[in-house]
Amino acid sequence: MIFSTLEHILTHISFSVVSIVISTHLITLLVNEILGFHDSSKNGMIISFFCITGLLITRWILSGHLPFSDLYESLIFLSWGFSILHIVFCFKKHKNDFSAIIAPSVIFTQGFATSGVLTEMHQSAILVPALQSHWLMMHVSMMIFGYAALLCGSLLSVGILVITFGEVIQILGKSNNLYFLNESFSFVEIQYMNRNERNNVLQKTFFSSSRNYYRSQFIQQLDRWSYRIISLGFLFLTIGILSGAVWANEAWGSYWNWDPKETWAFITWTIFAIYLHTRKNTKLESVNSSIAASLGFLIIWICYLGINLLGIGLHSYGSFTSN
Amino acid sequence: MKTLSPLNSSNPCLLKTHFLKVPIFNPIFKFKPLPHNTHHARIAKVPSFTINSKLKSSQDINNTGKKSVSQKIVLSETSPPPLAVDKDDINGGSGSESVPVSSKKKGGVSGLAKKLSKKVLQILSNLSLAIGEMFTIAALMALGTVIEQGEAPDFYFKNYPEDHPVLGFFTWRWVLTLGFDHMFTSPVFIGMLALLGASLMACTYTTQIPLVKVSRRWAFLHSAEAIRKQEFSDTLTRASIEDVGTLLMGAGYEVFLKGPCLYAFQGLAGRLAPIGVHISLLLIMVGGTLSAAGSFKGSVTVPQGLNFVVGDVLGPTGFLSTPTEAFNTEIHVNRFYMDYFESGEVSQFHTDLSLLDMDGKEVMRKTISVNDPLRYGGITIYQTDWSISALQILKDNEGPYNLAMAPLQINGDKKLFGTFLPVGDINSPDVKGISMLARDLQSIVLYDKEGKFAGVRRPNSKLPINIDGSEIVILDAIGSSGLDLKTDPGVPTVYAGFGALMLTTCISYLSHSQIWAIQDGTSVIIGGKTNRAKMEFPEEMNRLLDKVPEIVESSSSQQVDTITSG
């Protein structure tokens, strides 16, 4: 009883702290540079990290096994993975660009976990025989860390895509503006117009080039970050899939069954392998690799939630008795 | 530092490149070798070293340098030797896996065939092709989870009819012709995998192996412009290149110094590990092929107390499957039982097995459970299923009778077994009796002739129950254990591939950083690049370069200036 109350309290604290962090982010976005807000958001993330850690530990003690047995617990673990990523990058002293992506991820996963959709899962369940293995810890933790890192990295890539598409649209818009400007000026004396136009164009190109410089640098930064984080996630995903295969060979008698969850994990792996390979080719870099990563973002969600919600295959937990 | 000089004299390869601290401290002597080199080429490549000498030298440097660093360097330097072993694996892999490529290579006695094989290699090692293959495989796999697998043709006729094609074109003809009803064994899918394997080999052979050769020799950059062109570059005024070298060495770099030029690198393993990744993927593919071609599989449900022979259960899956001695083993199920949680739910299934050889002698005995299989002579026995085979009862103190249990309803996770004890005239057309139902081995629910609930009994309680005038005691519920048997010759190979893949993927995360520096008068121009950690690298460099001590005395600086400007 005490445990479940504690669990409730921790859930609510972490959820509200993260929402406060997000609102501070929004405020700093609207009202320029209020000092101390960055620190507060960092502290907020640390608080929520400890809350989620406490939540996981209470569930662990309550159920007597590692809290990986169902979707609710794995979602909480996923948001814990997000926050640990955040903490790691905070300690590496890297701006708040990253927490702008991570904080909403944490709140979405946690919001989804605590929302009504999964209420019947909140009661921690028993572990079916197939899950009673030491491989559970290795396999699930690696998979979830992998998902967390890959989701972050691919979100950064989605960000790149959004920015570059915005740029394309903006360039189009600008040329239109210029055209209208010319039209309106065409009634004015030709000499004057020419001079004016030249000035105008000069100014515009100057502004846009300096803007473009910062923008391209920002895009490059995002790109490099997403590459680094996706490589990390890929590492975890590889270890997770392989340890899962070894486990399956212990429990089900075959290291690969083409079970839907397995297959989708492999598809995810393939997509991010494609991402890593597109980086090798300088022609395909940036935009194409971002497209691959964004595709990977969708596929992770299909793999992680879609298959579980459909409840097909061996990963629906309870497979043993249903045979 | 003096320990370094004997190393140099003992190793003839190293005579040309002086390691750190060897250069003579007189600046005039120091710049003497410079003109010779710059006349020939800007980038002078030092003849490649054998790995042995490189290893030795790097370790010796570590011994003289800071001890805290030595582990780091050893890590990065010990990985090349496995690569030499791995290269043999490629050859082994190409022999067994890709028939098309190797056959073309072997047939290349004439020049045409050689040209053709070269062309094939070139096409196969194309990155865009490989990406396309991966994408196709991913799409096929996705399709394989969308289309129901392994159904009868009628199912596909019904679900993918010709008059209402899915997406306007996709009908059962597509499914059945391309074999999408068994996607993961269909020729299309296997063919794509084989093609990907061939691409992997071609890429490893044409792109990655040459990379090893290139990265084994280190190149000095002799002009300041070339260094400034690097991704990261900086100029340190009033600094000496030796200090930079010492600092880099302290940070775990391999440092090479020749005259005014410095070259340093770190994390070479990170650059070479992708080769290992490819090779381990090939290993896994080979192992998978072996598994598919040479395994035996079978499953059996055995009531407690009965025997079966391994060879009767196992059936071959591929053309390479050959039975072994161990197939004659007879297996006796001593006991099947379950563990329960306090809430009454099943926590674990156990089967106590005895293995008997031809003479009936027990060779092994083990209690298996889910996640804890038995392995004997290449055969693995898994606990995968269960059922209740019989109820042992006493009726009016007669018996014991064994009543066979039948599975009644399998709905989701719940199993239900039932049996029937006729009461009265057995030969009458509407025979009535007592029904007994069980969900597990723990408790039996009894119903009377009318179908009304009569009571619940535990098998071992010995508590009689009186239904319709007859006294019934349930002595025991006999379970049967569902076992899966398997032999798989591919597992060792696959596991080796798994291990190698995990290791090399981890190593691949390391970033290969290269740094060049040149002494230009009193200032040092330093530049560098890295292949992965592009964000962290400049910061790390700045942090390092901040520590480079500033040289205050200016006695010899003028001389240096005149020399370099000339």
Q: Answer whether residue B286 is part of any domain.
A: no
A263 has a chain B CB within 8 A of its CB: yes
Strand, coil or helix: what is A30? helix
Q: Measuring CA to CA, which residue among B200, B204, B91, B206 is closest to residue B137?
A: B200
More confident residue, B384 or A24: B384
Distance of CA B488 to the CA centre of its chain: 17
Instruction: Give the total number of structural domains in chain B.
Output: 3
Residues of B in contact with A246 (CB under 8 A): 495, 498
Same domain (yes/no): B461, B351: yes
Q: B563 vs A161, which has greater pLDDT?
A: A161
Cβ of B535 under 8 Å from any chain A Cβ? yes
**Residue B21 Cα to chain centre, angstroms:** 44
User: Do B234 and B190 sit in the same domain of this protein?
Assistant: no
Q: What gap in Å lies between CA A17 and CA A26, rounded to an integer?
A: 14
Determine, yes or no, domain membership for B277. no
Same domain, B310 and B389: yes
**Under a CB-based contact definition with an 8 Å cutoff, are residues B55 and B77 in contact?**
yes
Instruction: Clarify whether residues B317 and B450 are in a common domain.
Output: yes
The verdict on B455 and B547 lying in the same domain is no
Closest-CA distance of chain B to residue A169, Å: 29
Digit-coded pLDDT (tens) for A37-62: 666 777 787 888 888 888 888 888 87
Task: Find the CB nearest A322 among B149, B413, B533.
Answer: B413
Q: Are residues B226 and B175 in the same domain?
A: no
Contact in structure between A8 and A16 (CB atoms under 8 Å):
no
Q: How far is CA A146 from the centre of its chain?
A: 11
Answer whether B329's CB lies under 8 Å from B355's CB.
yes
Structural domain contains residue B182: yes
Tell me, what DSSP letter sits at residue A315?
A: G
The token duo for A204 is: 């515009």
- Exposed, middle or buried, B475 (CB in 10 Å: 0-12/13-18/19+)? middle
DSSP class per residue in A206-256: HHHHHHHHHHHHHHHHHHHHHHHHHHHHHHHHHHHHHHHHHHHHHHTS-S-
Q: How big is the CA angle at A243 (ends B189 and A132), to the nearest 5 degrees?
A: 120
Helix (H, G, I), strand (E, B) or coil at B529: strand
Distance of alpha carbon A112 from alpha carbon A121, whole angstroms: 12
d(CA A33, CA A286): 30
Q: Which residues pair with B53 in a beta bridge?
A: none
Contact criterion met (CB below 8 Å) for A302 and A323 = no
pLDDT of residue A286: 66
C-beta of residue B526 within 8 angstroms of C-beta of residue B226: no
- The reported pTM is 0.77
- The answer to whether position B494 is within a domain reads no
Residue B446 is predicted with a pLDDT of 86
Q: Is residue B492 part of a domain?
A: no
For the segment A169-196, the average pLDDT, to the nearest whole number, is: 47
Range of B51's domain? 4-64+221-267+511-565
DSSP character for A29?
H
Give tens-digit pLDDT for B380-419: 999 888 888 888 888 877 778 888 888 876 655 567 888 8
Give Cα A73 to chain centroid, integer Å. Answer: 18
Nearest Cα neighbor of B86 from B269, B291, B327 is B269
Say if the Cβ atoms of B410 and A256 lie within 8 Å.
no
Count CB atoms within 10 A of the CB of residue A305. 14
Tell whether the model's pLDDT for residue A97 goes beyond 80. no
Please tell me whether residue B108 adopts helix, strand or coil conformation.
coil
Q: Could you give the CA distance from residue A21 to residue A40 in angstroms, rounded to a whole number? A: 8
Backbone angles phi, psi at B316, to 5 degrees: -70, 150
Mean pLDDT rounded to a whole number for chain B: 75
Mean pLDDT (chain A) is 74
Strand order of the β-sheet with B254-258 is B232-236, B523-530, B513-520, B261-266, B254-258
pLDDT at A96: 54
User: Given A126, A231, A242, which is nearest B498 (Cβ)?
Assistant: A242
Asked if the peptide bond before residue B400 counts as cis, ω within 30 degrees of 0, the response is yes
Query: How far B555 CA lies from chain A's nearest CA (Å)?
Result: 42
Task: Check whether A78 has a pLDDT greater than 70.
Answer: yes
Q: What are the chain A neighbours of B182 within 8 Å (beta carbons)?
A: none
Q: What is the pLDDT of residues B474-531, one digit of tens each?
A: 888 888 888 999 998 899 999 999 999 999 999 999 988 888 888 888 888 888 888 8
Size of interface A-B (CB pairs under 8 A): 126
Residues B8 and B49 in one domain: yes
Q: Give the Cα separation of B248 and B19 in Å (integer).
A: 13
Chain A residues with CB under 8 Å of B369 CB are 129
Amino acid code (one letter) for B309: V
Q: What is the pLDDT of residues A134-144, one digit of tens each?
A: 888 889 899 99
Say if the Cβ atoms of A277 and B509 lie within 8 Å. Answer: no
pLDDT-above-70 percentage for chain A = 68
- Are B325 and B196 within one domain? no
- Tell whether B72 is covered by a domain: no
Tell me the CA distances in angstroms from A63 to A158, B143, B192, one per residue in order: 38, 38, 45
> Using CB atoms, which residue from B130, B142, B343 is nearest to A277?
B130
| Structure confidence at residue A267 (pLDDT) | 94
Q: Are residues B339 and B481 in the same domain?
A: yes
The whole-angstrom distance between A84's CA and the closest CA on chain B is: 19
**Contact state of B373 with A227 under an 8 Å Cβ cutoff:** no
Nearest to B563 by CA among B519, B517, B521: B521
Question: What is the residue-level pLDDT of chain B in tens, covering all 566 positions?
Answer: 333 333 333 444 433 444 444 333 333 333 333 334 334 434 334 443 333 333 334 434 344 333 333 333 332 333 333 333 333 333 333 333 333 444 444 444 678 888 888 888 888 888 888 889 999 999 999 988 888 888 888 888 888 887 777 777 788 888 888 888 888 888 999 999 999 999 999 988 888 888 777 776 667 888 888 888 888 888 888 888 888 888 889 888 888 888 888 888 888 888 889 899 999 999 999 999 999 888 898 989 998 888 899 888 888 888 878 888 888 889 999 989 888 887 777 888 899 999 998 888 889 999 998 888 999 888 999 988 888 888 888 887 777 888 888 887 665 556 788 888 877 766 777 777 888 888 878 888 888 877 788 888 888 777 888 877 778 888 888 888 889 999 988 999 999 999 999 999 999 999 888 888 888 888 888 888 888 888 788 888 888 888 888 877 654 444 444 444 43
Residues B193 and B225 both lie in one domain: no
Contact residues, A window 222-251, toward B, CB-based 8 Å cutoff: 224-225, 227-228, 231-232, 234-235, 238-239, 242, 245-247, 249-251
Burial of B542 (0-12, 13-18, 19+ CB in 10 A): exposed
- Determine the pLDDT at residue A101: 73
- The answer to whether B535 contacts A323, with C-beta atoms less than 8 Å apart, is no
User: Which residue type is seen at A159?
Assistant: G
- pLDDT of A272 > 90? The answer is yes
Q: Which long-range contacts (CB under 8 A, 24 or more apart) does B51-59 make?
A: B51/B80, B51/B81, B51/B84, B51/B216, B53/B11, B53/B13, B53/B14, B54/B216, B55/B80, B55/B81, B56/B7, B56/B11, B57/B7, B57/B11, B57/B14, B57/B19, B58/B254
Shared-domain flag, residues B323 and B409: yes
Q: Are residues B351 and B433 in the same domain?
A: yes
Query: Does B128 touch chain A if contact means CB atoms closer than 8 Å?
Result: yes
pLDDT tens digits, residue range B128-178? 888 899 999 999 999 888 888 888 888 888 888 877 777 777 888 888 888
The confidence score (pLDDT) of residue A38 equals 63
Chain A residues touching residue B413 (CB < 8 angstroms): 318, 321-322
Mutation target among A230, A254, A261 for the B interface, most CBs of B within 10 A = A254
Q: How far apart are CA B523 and CA B244, in angstroms?
A: 11
Instruction: Output b/e per residue, B525-538; b: 16+ Cβ within 10 A.
Output: bbbbbbbbbbbbbb
- A318: pLDDT strictly greater than 60: no
Are the C-beta atoms of B473 and B464 separated by less than 8 Å? yes
Instruction: Round to whole Å and give the CA distance between A58 and B550.
Output: 56
Residue keyed to tokens 């053309």: B319
A141: tokens are 């933790």
Task: Let me know: does B509 contact B76? Beta carbons within 8 Å.
Answer: no
Q: How far apart are CA A256 and CA A194, in angstroms?
A: 72
* d(CA A127, nearest CA chain B) in Å: 7
- Beta strands B406-407 and B453-457 are unpaired
Alpha-carbon gap, residue B506 to B277, rounded angstroms: 10
**Is the Cβ–Cβ distance between A230 and A153 less than 8 Å?**
yes
Which candidate, A146, A290, A300, A144, places its Cα nearest to that of A225? A290
Q: What is the DSSP letter of B207?
A: I
Q: Are B310 and B298 in contact (CB under 8 A)?
A: no
